[in-house]
Amino acid sequence: MSSVRLYTEFFKGFWKDNPAFRQLLGMCPLLAVTTSVLNGISMGIAMTFVLVCTSIVVSLIRKIVPNQVRIATFTIIIATFVTIADLFLKARFPPISKALGPYIPLIVVNCIILGRQEAFAKKNPLGRSFLDALGMGFGFTLALLLLGAIRESLGSGSILDIQILGTWFEPWVIMILPAGAFITLGFLIALMNLIDERLKKAA
């Protein structure tokens, strides 16, 4: 396989197959924790960690797992890494762990992770599975970051707790409420569709 192919394996997660915007997977952490940039990034890192570790293990054992029990096997591997991530956050970063609450354990049922195992890691060698997982993880982190930045700046007038909008700015409380999450994401996906359409016309 050529290096060009490896390159696409990594970068497809950013735009073309972005897990959050394109495949509409992993919606619950995406909408729930993006009230601030910090929460978004922490979630993204935790997700990427679990996704990459799981993909490595699944890719390594892909030939010895019987097909009938693969989903259960994958789920247990995922749950193990999520437990590790959760305990680590609880021990090292208690405030973040508290802010993310049950959404860290909920990574277990995140469709992105199981989806990547089914669609990719179970039939690809280690290197490519690793790049695929890393790309998807970063793509998802990017989505979390973007949504977090929009919601935090409009909802509290700050980014990473640093005030960026002056005192004249009246925070839009709706942005940090659940309703704001849905609406922002809806507009972001529409924007992406629009850009894609323009690109297609230009090409």
Partner 1 sequence: MNIILIFIAATIVNNIVLTYFLGICPFLGVSSKIESAIGMGLAATFVMTLAATVTWLIYHYILVRFNVPFLEYVSFILVIAALVQIVEMFIRKTSPELYRALGIYLPLITTNCAILGLTLFMVLREYNFLESVVFGFGSGVGFTLVLLIMAGIREELEFADVPEAFKGAPITLIISGLLALAFMGFSGIISTS
Residues engaged in binding partner 1 (CB under 8 A) = 24-25, 27-28, 31-32, 71-72, 75-76, 79-80, 82-83, 86-87, 101-102, 105-106, 108-111, 114, 174, 177-183, 185-187, 189-191, 193-194, 197
Closest distance of CB 45 from partner 1, Å: 19
Give the three-class secondary structure for 184.
Answer: helix
Q: Tell me whether residue 23 or residue 158 sits nearer to partner 1 (CB atom).
A: 23
Q: Tell me whether residue 131 or residue 147 sits nearer to partner 1 (CB atom).
A: 147
Closest distance of CB 26 from partner 1, Å: 9
Q: Tell me whether residue 114 or residue 134 sits nearer to partner 1 (CB atom).
A: 114
The interaxial angle of helices 37-61 and 111-119, nearest 10 deg, is 30
Pair of tokens at residue 10: 């990594």
In angstroms, the CA 55 to CA 153 distance is 35
Closest distance of CB 106 from partner 1, Å: 5
Give the burial string for 52-73 (b: 16+ CB within 10 Å, else e).
bbbbbbbbeebeeeeeeebeeb
Q: Tell me whether residue 6 or residue 115 sits nearer to partner 1 (CB atom).
A: 115
Closest distance of CB 109 from partner 1, Å: 5
Q: How far is CA 150 from CA 12, 13, 40, 138, 163, in A?
A: 24, 21, 11, 18, 14
